[in-house]
């Protein structure tokens, strides 16, 4: 017998989550929030899910659920038709559980994903020693990356995406506010250089950092990535987000001081030269700050501090 689906009135929408969804997706986000209780109820009924506690959410609605056989899973819903959801589904299908949680089901008409649950789901961000945390991310990096296939043709190209974002920022902001112009122009030139001499492209996670890597002790006893953005490009571009995370809003010099040992450990663990790790780290840090600047009034993050620290090391 299937689980009793929640009524729409039982689905709680945290006010902060609703504000974030609208801030991120505008009117599309408002429609998403308004329709969410009914969609959650319908998906749980269709998949015979028992709804448990929601997770802390930012822009997507995410909750623990149990399947008809009692096995745990994660239900994730986002706005209909946004490219981010389609890219996540494509990436998860490509990874096929290698280094990432498995996609168990997908309902494109409701923007719903049913995902493997990593238990207890401890994040790399909670690991006390930074050298251990970095090693965990390196392990996931080495497991995830595989060449693209015909099934991943819809995923965006990393170099094209980066260049568009950086050029758009330069057109929008002729001066040094909110990001020093020299950093953006240097990141643009480096993107061209790095992509031109990159080796075999792979499907990247696209946002691999400390809060997107979870420990699965109950099942596979390994670290697993969640929430991939899905992009194709140079595998070393993946190092960027982990250099300015976790909690990039916290501009703490003690955290920024971890940058040098992280670069050295990444280069050693991935078998590449430090110059290339530094270059991609700089590009992705600048890009992160450029994306942050797209929302007026959003504070500067540690990504800018990392970019400034890496700038003198660029060859």
| 216 and 111 fall within a common domain | no
Give exposure, 225-254, as e/b (b: 16+ Cβ within 10 Å): bbbbbbbbbbbbbbbbbbbbbbebeeeeee
What are residue 76's phi and psi, to 5 degrees?
-130, 130
| 50 and 133 fall within a common domain | no
**Domain termination residue (choose one: 90, 116, 142):** 116
What pLDDT, on the 0 to 100 scale, is given for residue 54?
86
The domain spanning residue 47 has which CATH number? 3.30.200.20
Nearest to 226 by CA among 69, 84, 121, 77: 121
What pLDDT, on the 0 to 100 scale, is given for residue 2?
53
The domain total for the chain is 2
Nearest to 282 by CA among 196, 212, 194: 194
What pLDDT, on the 0 to 100 scale, is given for residue 1?
43
In a domain, 147, yes or no: yes
What pLDDT, on the 0 to 100 scale, is given for residue 3?
64
Task: State pLDDT tens for residues 110-131.
Answer: 999 999 999 999 999 999 899 9
| 145 and 267 fall within a common domain | yes
| 85 and 196 fall within a common domain | no
Q: Which segments in the chain show pLDDT lower than 50?
A: 1
Give the residue numbers spanning the domain of 21: 8-116
| 111 and 252 fall within a common domain | no
User: pTM for this structure?
Assistant: 0.93
Residue 113's DSSP bridge partners are 76, 106
| Alpha-helical segments (H) within the chain | 15-25, 27-47, 83-95, 130-144, 158-172, 181-196, 240-243, 253-256, 259-270, 274-293, 302-310
Nearest to 97 by CA among 203, 210, 226: 226
The C-alpha atoms of residue 118 and residue 206 are separated, in whole angstroms, by 20
In a domain, 2, yes or no: no
In a domain, 167, yes or no: yes
**Domain termination residue (choose one: 116, 139, 168):** 116
What pLDDT, on the 0 to 100 scale, is given for residue 254?
87
In a domain, 156, yes or no: yes
In a domain, 1, yes or no: no
The C-alpha atoms of residue 172 and residue 254 are separated, in whole angstroms, by 33
Strand, coil or helix: 74: strand
Q: CA-based angle 56:20:16, to the nearest 5?
A: 55
What pLDDT, on the 0 to 100 scale, is given for residue 242?
95
């Amino acid at each position: 017998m299937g689980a009793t689906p929640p009524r729409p009135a039982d689905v709680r929408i945290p006010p902060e989550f609703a504000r974030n969804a609208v801030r991120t997706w505008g009117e599309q986000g408002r429609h998403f929030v308004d329709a969410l209780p009914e969609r959650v109820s319908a998906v749980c009924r269709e998949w015979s899910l028992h709804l448990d506690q929601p997770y802390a959410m930012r822009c997507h609605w995410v909750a623990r659920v149990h399947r008809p056989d009692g096995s745990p899973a994660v239900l994730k819903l986002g706005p209909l038709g946004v490219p981010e959801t389609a890219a996540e589904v494509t990436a998860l299908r490509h990874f096929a559980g290698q280094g990432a949680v498995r996609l168990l089901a997908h309902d494109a008409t409701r923007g719903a994903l049913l995902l493997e649950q990593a238990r207890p789901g401890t994040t790399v961000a909670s690991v006390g020693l930074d050298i251990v945390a970095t090693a965990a991310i390196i392990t996931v990096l080495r497991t995830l990356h595989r060449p693209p296939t015909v099934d991943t043709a819809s995923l965006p190209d990393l170099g094209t995406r980066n260049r568009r974002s950086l050029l758009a920022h330069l057109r929008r902001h002729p001066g040094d506010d909110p990001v020093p112009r020299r950093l953006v122009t240097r990141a643009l030139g480096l993107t061209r250089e790095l992509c031109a001499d990159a080796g075999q492209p792979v499907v990247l996670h696209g946002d691999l950092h400390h809060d997107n890597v979870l420990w699965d002790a109950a099942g596979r006893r390994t670290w697993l990535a969640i929430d991939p953005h899905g992009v194709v490009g140079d595998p070393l571009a993946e190092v960027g987000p982990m250099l300015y995370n976790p909690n990039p809003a916290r501009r703490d010099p003690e955290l920024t001081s971890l940058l040098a040992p992280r670069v050295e450990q990444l280069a050693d663990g991935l078998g590449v030269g430090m110059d290339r790790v530094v270059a991609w780290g700089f590009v992705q840090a600048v890009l992160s700050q450029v994306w942050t600047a797209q929302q007026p009034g959003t504070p500067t993050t540690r990504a800018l501090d990392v970019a400034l620290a890496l700038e003198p090391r660029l060859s």
